[in-house]
Amino acid sequence: MPKYGIIGTIIARHKKDPSRLIELMRDVQKEVGYISPEAIAAIAEKLGLSTADVAGVATFYHFFSTAPAGKYAVYLNTNIAAVLKGRAEIAAAFEKETGVKFGQTTPDGLIGLHETSCIGMNDQEPSVIINGVVVTKLTKSKVKELVAAMKAGRDIRTLVKKYGDGANQSRLIRAMVVNNIRKKGPVLFAPFKPGSAIKRAVTWTPEDVIAEIKRSNLLGRGGAGFPTGLKWEFCAREKSERHYVVCNADEGEPGTFKDRVILTELPVLLFEGMAIAGYAVGATEGIFYLRAEYAYLKPYLENILETLRKKNILGKNVAGKRGFNFDIVLKMGAGAYICGEESALLESAEGKRGEPRDRPPFPVQYGYLGYPTTVNNVETLCAAARILEKGAGWFKTMGTPKSAGTKLLSVSGDCKKPGVYEVEFGLTVKKLLEMAGVRDAQAVQVGGPSGNCISRSQFDRKICFEDLPTGGSIIIIGPGRDLFEVIHNFMDFFVEESCGWCVPCRTGNVLLKKKLEKITSGRGTDKDLAEIVAWGKIIKAMSRCGLGQTSANPILTTLLNFRHLYEAKINKDLDFISLFDLEAAIQPAASVTGQKLAEVHHE
Amino acid sequence: MNKIIFKIDGKECFAEPGQTIMEAALENGVYIPSLCRAENITPAGSCRICTVRVDGKYMAACTQPVANGMSVENKAADLEDMRKSLIEMLFVEGNHMCPTCEKSGNCELQALAYRYQMLVPRFPYQFPVRTIEPAGPKLLLEHNRCIQCLRCVRQVKSKDGRHVFGILHRSKKRKIGVDHGLAAALTDKTAKEAMDLCPVGALLKKEVGFVVPIGKRKFDKKPIGSEFDK
């Protein structure tokens, strides 16, 4: 046994490589149950790091804990779709059955209840992840069954009795997750012959591959919409001994789950897309960064990579192209929304806290380990492979003048047919709602919390970069819902997921949320409405990265599109109401002494 | 290499390629307020107080390279108010009691609050529960006053280059962490340097205090940025 016992073994397994710190810690978390102070000290010593830095990584990610997380670590997500589908009841059932609250572990260390952000299962909520196993569509009785099984010491995998459709049934996945592919389009979900894209690409020069992508007008599918061809060109132009391709499979925007379906059903198309990107920018290595929530797909995806090596779609002289060597390494995340931001993702892939970098330099100049890197979304790489297979001209026949091709939409919330829809850009929201079997939506959240909340009068608007851009998240809010519940949920999400690096995002969002609470509790005035807009603008302007630059959107877009709801909450006859609520403040004291509020508090 | 010519609030300025807006501004005698920035340390862009506006876009002057023909807005009234709001955010997110603070008069946060004539913050005080922690035998880490500028994280290192200070947690729970083993090796000299590096009273040298009386300290004599004000 090496020094430090099991922790020493794990450190050795990862070759004392600091860039593998996340993988190493994932193993410690899994095998020891938490990142103990002893583990932090041992890792720091062996890897030549400061314990402050190691503890920094251990305390950054949702799926790491510095206290025992339970032999069974239950992660229930806080996403609004789960809330709409009865999350509160499920949470209460877990607490009742285990006897502990969320954030706690049972005294015997058996079951830990934890909260996390969106786990990419919006179309089958409420869902939990228990020891990496996804359990979907929970009911109170299922929770009872789950907890009983945990108390009996059973393997969670044995509780998954019915597998989902398609590859979810494959030997290496065996998940109860369902794909919910509602509409297949001509780009992503059309039949694909493995190898056809990369084989065609390597008959061209890398410059011509980039030119073809540029001609296609392919824009990044993660939401920001940066031209993919241009990104590849910038990266290829940088003089360096090495270049990297990084696939961003960390879809964390609440409500998006389309990459989950691509990874399950179209991994070959995706990995071919990575190889094509590698060929274009001159990379020999690709990093596939997979969000921790999708760890259940890891063995399956690693097996696909191995198959592709055997088929010469990866490895030496790829697709028969002499001198073009390219392989893909799978790296895991550990739960953090911010890691979907490309520079934060690179930090995380290097084994650090997933905090964004200052730009410039951009990743195409200074990316993974400092080398020029193109970071592309899963769906973007798939579309790129299709473009190389079928041509830019074909691709441009679909969509709108500025948004070519199709888009995968993840539709969830109050609708009959939640799931993935591949539609041409330019589709109206109204048409999408019809497809999803929605007749009476009150509001539609386009692009997740960081996007835009639109009202009925705007349902003729089009989903495309010219009008309503989206990374794919579409959450439908039905007529009977309290929209403020949705807005509060989104603000809680941003407060929780802010990395805290910069002041406006770290503190501004907390202040914004408190202001919103003041208004919705009926203590707001016109002045509060004016202030919440002003504060939102400050946070947008002064924040360091996209998170803080969009975190005020749930409030700002609803104030624009649903102002009457706010107006109905505020006091019109008063100029000012103090934030300090005297009655609430003396309530605890009054309840201890048994006095009525009126007896303690005299006007 | 050719000189870069650019403007700050209409004033013609010159810069070397590769310089940030902040570096170029200071060389041209233009003051851009900042808190997290310190001489000879890689910028972190964490306080955002040096945010300027170029073509309607907001950017941190400490991290943004200056470019030829740039027209930088630095003193626009709305921009100055947003900077002031960040200072106010810092006051409400922590627990800052200037009259009892060893750093009063040497504190850059306090000095900027005076410069921006902050009376009462526009935001409600958060009164967070924070602790005081030893950082080796020579230093105290006063979390109540920490503004997470990351100067100590970036600059204070052991002889073999490891960070004495790190960052723990995220969101509003985020705070500075200490490698207690490495902190134990700090000498009187390096501990004093760490304290002087801290813009506020979060890192304090133990067993000394109020050697220079309040009223006779750095910013008591010369308000922050005053050397640039004509």
Q: Does A462 touch chain B (CB under 8 A)?
A: no
Residue B180 sits in the same domain as residue B148: yes
For chain A, which domains are there? 5-58 (no CATH), 72-161 (3.40.30.10), 182-396 (3.40.50.11540), 406-477 (3.10.20.600), 483-569 (1.20.1440.230)
Domain membership of residue B227 (yes or no) is: no
Residue B100 sits in the same domain as residue B187: yes
Q: Does A60 touch chain B (CB under 8 A)?
A: yes
Rounded to whole angstroms, the Cα distance separating A409 from A228 reads: 19
Q: Please report the pLDDT score of residue A223 as a whole number.
A: 85
Rounded to whole angstroms, the Cα distance separating A473 from A304 reads: 27
Asked if A44's CB is within 8 angstroms of B48's CB, the reply is no
Domain membership of residue B124 (yes or no) is: yes
Radius of gyration of chain A (CA): 25
3-state secondary structure of A467: coil
Spell out, as residue ranges, where chain A has pLDDT lower than 70: 1-3, 600-603
Rounded to whole angstroms, the Cα distance separating B41 from B21 reads: 15
Minimum distance, in Å, between the CA of residue B216 and any CA atom of chain A: 30
Residue B174 sits in the same domain as residue B100: yes
Which stretch of DSSP H or E encloses residue A390?
A: helix A378-390
Residue B71 sits in the same domain as residue B93: no
| A363, B6, B66, B72 from B10: Cα distances, Å | 33, 9, 15, 8
Short-list A36, A33, A159, CA closest to A106: A33
The dihedral sign for the CA sequence A539, A542, A543, A545:
positive
Asked if B148's CB is within 8 angstroms of A506's CB, the reply is yes
Residue B65 sits in the same domain as residue B101: no
Domain membership of residue B222 (yes or no) is: no
Q: Please report the pLDDT score of residue A2 as a whole number.
A: 53
Please identify which residue in the block is written with the tokens 């005698």. Answer: B29
Chain B residues near residue A541 by CB distance under 8 angstroms: 51, 58, 82
Asked if B148's CB is within 8 angstroms of A542's CB, the reply is no
Please identify which residue in the block is written with the tokens 């290496």. Answer: A172
Give the CA count within 13 Å in the CB-facing half-sphere of A289. 33
Minimum distance, in Å, between the CA of residue B211 and any CA atom of chain A: 32
- The β-bridge relationship of strands A473-477 and A406-413 is parallel
Residue B171 sits in the same domain as residue B191: yes
Spell out, as residue ranges, where chain B has pLDDT lower than 70: 1
Domain membership of residue B213 (yes or no) is: no
Nearest CA in chain A to B148: A501
Rounded to whole angstroms, the Cα distance separating A43 from A8 reads: 8
The dihedral sign for the CA sequence A488, A492, A498, A504:
positive
Domain membership of residue B39 (yes or no) is: yes
Q: In 10 A of CB B187, how many CB atoms?
A: 10
3-state secondary structure of B176: strand
Asked if B160's CB is within 8 angstroms of A48's CB, the reply is yes
Residue B90 sits in the same domain as residue B59: no
Q: Which long-range contacts (CB under 8 A, 24 or more apart) does A205-209 make?
A: A206/A236, A206/A279, A206/A280, A206/A281, A206/A282, A209/A276, A209/A279, A209/A280, A209/A388
Residue B112 sits in the same domain as residue B12: no
Asked if B172's CB is within 8 angstroms of A50's CB, the reply is no
Q: Does A508 touch chain B (CB under 8 A)?
A: yes
Closest in A50, A503, A531 to B47, CB measured: A503
Asked if B65's CB is within 8 angstroms of A52's CB, the reply is no
**Is the model's pTM score more than 0.90?**
yes
Percent of chain B predicted with pLDDT > 90: 97
Asked if A543's CB is within 8 angstroms of B48's CB, the reply is yes
CATH code for position B17: 3.10.20.740
Closest in A56, A60, A502 to B45, CB measured: A502
Q: Does B177 touch chain A (CB under 8 A)?
A: yes
Question: Residue A99 region, left (φ>0) first, then alpha (ψ -120 to 50), else beta?
Answer: left
Rounded to whole angstroms, the Cα distance separating A401 from A369 reads: 37
Minimum distance, in Å, between the CA of residue B94 and any CA atom of chain A: 10
End of a domain among B43, B75, B107? B75
Q: Does B59 touch chain A (CB under 8 A)?
A: no
Q: Does B42 touch chain A (CB under 8 A)?
A: no
Asked if A498's CB is within 8 angstroms of B48's CB, the reply is no
Q: In 10 A of CB B209, how many CB atoms?
A: 8
Core vs surface per residue B105-142: b (16+ CB within 10 A) or e: bbbbbbbbbebbebeebbbeebeeeeeeeebbebbbbb
Asked if B47's CB is within 8 angstroms of A52's CB, the reply is no
Q: Please report the pLDDT score of residue A81 as a whole number.
A: 96
Asked if A541's CB is within 8 angstroms of B89's CB, the reply is no
Nearest CA in chain A to B166: A52
Q: Does A496 touch chain B (CB under 8 A)?
A: yes
Q: Please report the pLDDT score of residue A598 as a whole number.
A: 72
Residue B64 sits in the same domain as residue B122: no
C-beta of residue A254 within 8 angstroms of C-beta of residue A493: yes
Q: Provide the residue range defining the domain that includes B163.
A: 85-207
Contacting A residues, span 346-375, partner chain B, CB-CB under 8 Å: 353, 355, 358, 360
Q: Does B222 touch chain A (CB under 8 A)?
A: no
Q: Please report the pLDDT score of residue A236 as a whole number.
A: 98
Note if the bond before B199 is cis, omega within 30 degrees: no
Closest in B47, B65, B164 to A360, CB measured: B65
Q: What is the DSSP string of A559-603?
A: HHH-HHHHHHHS-SS-S---S--HHHHHHHHHHHHT--HHHH---
Q: Which of A62, A348, A507 should we substitute to test contact with B (largest number of B Cβ atoms within 10 Å)? A: A507
Q: Please report the pLDDT score of residue A586 as a whole number.
A: 86
Domain membership of residue B152 (yes or no) is: yes
End of a domain among B15, B41, B75? B75
ipTM over 0.90: yes
Q: Does B203 touch chain A (CB under 8 A)?
A: no
Domain membership of residue B139 (yes or no) is: yes
Q: Does B121 touch chain A (CB under 8 A)?
A: no
Q: Does B170 touch chain A (CB under 8 A)?
A: yes
Q: Please report the pLDDT score of residue A594 as a whole number.
A: 84
What residues have CB less than 8 Å from A570, skipping those under 6 apart?
Answer: A519, A524, A525, A526, A528, A529
The dihedrals phi and psi of A291, each to the nearest 5 degrees, come to -65, 145
Q: Please report the pLDDT score of residue B149 as a whole number.
A: 98
Asked if B82's CB is within 8 angstroms of A59's CB, the reply is no
Nearest CA in chain A to B128: A507
Q: Does B15 touch chain A (CB under 8 A)?
A: no
Asked if A499's CB is within 8 angstroms of B170's CB, the reply is yes
Domain membership of residue B110 (yes or no) is: yes
Residue B97 sits in the same domain as residue B173: yes
Chain A residues near residue B49 by CB distance under 8 angstroms: 503
Residue B94 sits in the same domain as residue B168: yes
Give the count of domains, chain B: 2
End of a domain among B26, B48, B75? B75
Note if the bond before A360 is cis, omega within 30 degrees: yes
Residue B202 sits in the same domain as residue B89: yes
Chain B residues near residue A498 by CB distance under 8 angstroms: 170-172
